[in-house]
Structure 1
Amino acid sequence: MTETVTRYRTLFISDIHLGSKAAKADYLIDFLRYHEAEQIILVGDIIDGWRLRRSWNWPQDCNDVVQKLLRQARKGTRIIYIPGNHDEFLRDFPGTHFGGIEVALETIHEGADGKRYLVLHGDEFDVIVRHARILAHLGDWAYDLAIFVNRALNSVRRRVGLPYWSFSAWAKLQVKQAVNFIGEFQRVVVEEARKRDVEGVICGHIHHATIEDFDGVSYINTGDWVESCTAVGEDFDGKMHLLRWDHHIRLAPKRSGQEKAVADRAAKRLPARAA
């Protein structure tokens, strides 16, 4: 049976964190099987250099993601890689091509509808990351603990047939300081878009997927592949869609009608303000 592949003009993906035990590389491989695009923009933290420096962790799923992207590039998909703070070592190579994947510090994306978006990772606007590196790394270790709980919980959920659910994302939104940080981050990123005279901004970094309008400026955060398993797709009319892939499909070699229905629900387009 031929599976349905959804085509987009552009896919925006960020915060995969390959090299971290928390990375949902297997979910992303599934996502890329059912979603293709003329252009893919990787919006930072694709490789988690921070964690790889602490302890090496590179399972086959990480290779699979890299090979999948390289194959897409060979087939003619334009792929732009904008490094984030976790893969900042690539910021020394702007304009370089690796296997057909172009490295850029940021880019201006012009949508099919003529709307212009500033695309960057976003850590430039995170005061802790830019000016208090020790605190950032301490926060990273605490985040690892939350992700450990996340993995254990979802291991149980998978055994009983329940879809993936992010404890770490839920917990983050229960903390007032975290919610305030998200709001402030959105404010300063939108202000930067206004300064650049563009109609929108597309970023990652804070692992909070959303599409919102701030007084005429579109704020789009692609989310991540650690907590929410989300990406953003631009259709051929220029409309942006928040995409969630929270069901692991690859484990089922042959899918029944019921499993196909689950896959279709997993690939649904979310409302603009969904997170």
Structure 2
Amino acid sequence: MKPAEQFLNKKLHKAAKKEVTRFKTIWISDLHLGTSGCQAAKLLEFLRATESETLYLVGDIIDGWQLKRRWYWDQTHNNVVQTVLKKAKKGTNVIFVPGNHDESVRQFIDLNFGGIQIRDELVHTTAEGKRLLVLHGDRFDGVIACAKWLAYVGDNLYTVILKFNQVFNNWRARAGLPYWSLSQYLKLKVKNAVSYITQFEDALAEEARRKGLDGVICGHIHKPEIRDINGILYCNDGDWVESLSALVEEPDGKLRLVTWHDVVQHGHPVFEQTGVETDVAAIAG
């Protein structure tokens, strides 16, 4: 066994020995298994450190777009899949809502595989009685709906940015500096990107309103968020490429955003819904 693998196994064994954090419901999305950008080792630690009655996989779990271009799949990615299957076997209600990167799975909508239910979208009712639409969100993305080729170009550009981030942040780590995300910086600073995100969020909120629901839970844009949009609760669970975040429901129905660091390092959630908005600035780096 290679030294790096021995180090990873020790870390995973140590995480497995920690006390498990229990939630009523967990939503994760945009894992992008099958890419070098997927933080599979940390995702595995998170999955092993948490339990829930229901686990939602809200799209882009396996990145079919990238796998078609270049095969990338190591043992840690296998371990993530096996851990989810094990959760389903042991009684966790696992629901997979495919996204655009794993859109081939949509041909199996309403079927069950290995204890995992595949659904296009559905309504989740919290312990507080809030009815929330759950879907990936890609069909409300104007770029994908109107110019899919441009989405492929953007995906390639995002991959290049992530590779730069890996090299740059390796240097920052050696210098004792925290992680810094170029992609998040560009999203927050470029006017068109900010407008795109706002339009996406507004469109999802309006869809929930149209269906007579209290809110919506989605993924797709890799921006963890809980906020009120004109009386509709908008929740985005983030991703497992950079933010390493999940949306969780406590037994009392309260919704929180948590990160790998919160659960694995501290054993409790830090980012929580406080009235109208949740402060996720720290997640963006």
Q: Secondary structure at the match of 1:7?
A: strand
Q: Output one character per residue of 1:189-209: Cα deviation in whole Å (capped at 9) or x when no partner.
A: 100000010001000000000
2:118 to 91, 95, 103: 103
CA–CA distance in 1 between the matches of 2:24 and 2:136?
Answer: 20
Output aligned runs, 1:1-275, within 5 Å: 3-160=18-175, 163-246=178-261, 263-264=265-266, 267-272=268-273, 273-275=278-280
TM-score by length of 1: 0.90
Q: Output one character per residue of 1:23-69: Cα deviation in whole Å (capped at 9) or x when no partner.
A: 11111111112221111001000000000000110111110110110
TM-score by length of 2: 0.87
Q: 1:247 and 1:113, CA in 2 relative to 1: closer, same or farther beyond 3 A? A: closer
Q: Secondary structure at the match of 1:138?
A: helix
Query: How far is 1:162 from its partner?
Result: 5.1
Q: Secondary structure at the match of 1:152?
A: helix
Query: How far is 1:155 from its partner?
Result: 2.3
Q: 1:248 and 1:143, CA in 2 relative to 1: closer, same or farther beyond 3 A? A: farther
Gaps of 5+ in 1: 250-262
Q: Secondary structure at the match of 1:228?
A: coil
% identity of equivalent residues: 47
Match for 1:274: what amino acid?
D
CA–CA distance in 2 between the matches of 1:68 and 1:170?
Answer: 33
Query: Could you tell which deviates more after superposition, 1-10 or 224-233?
Result: 1-10
Q: Output one character per residue of 1:133-184: Cα deviation in whole Å (capped at 9) or x when no partner.
A: 1111011111111111111123234445555443322232121111111111
Q: 1:92 and 1:227, CA in 2 relative to 1: closer, same or farther beyond 3 A? A: same
Match for 1:61: what amino acid?
T
Q: Secondary structure at the match of 1:225?
A: coil
CA–CA distance in 1 between the matches of 2:129 and 2:110?
Answer: 25
Query: Could you tell which deviates more after superposition, 85-94 or 170-179?
Result: 170-179
Query: How far is 1:98 from its partner?
Result: 1.6
- Check whether the contact 2:123–2:132 (CA below 8 A) recurs between aligned residues: yes
Q: 1:248 and 1:80, CA in 2 relative to 1: closer, same or farther beyond 3 A? A: closer
Match for 2:279: what amino acid?
A
CA–CA distance in 2 between the matches of 1:62 and 1:44?
Answer: 16
Aligned residue-pair number: 261
CA–CA distance in 2 between the matches of 1:173 and 1:133?
Answer: 23
* Cα RMSD (Å): 1.8
CA–CA distance in 2 between the matches of 1:100 and 1:89?
Answer: 19
Q: Secondary structure at the match of 1:270?
A: coil
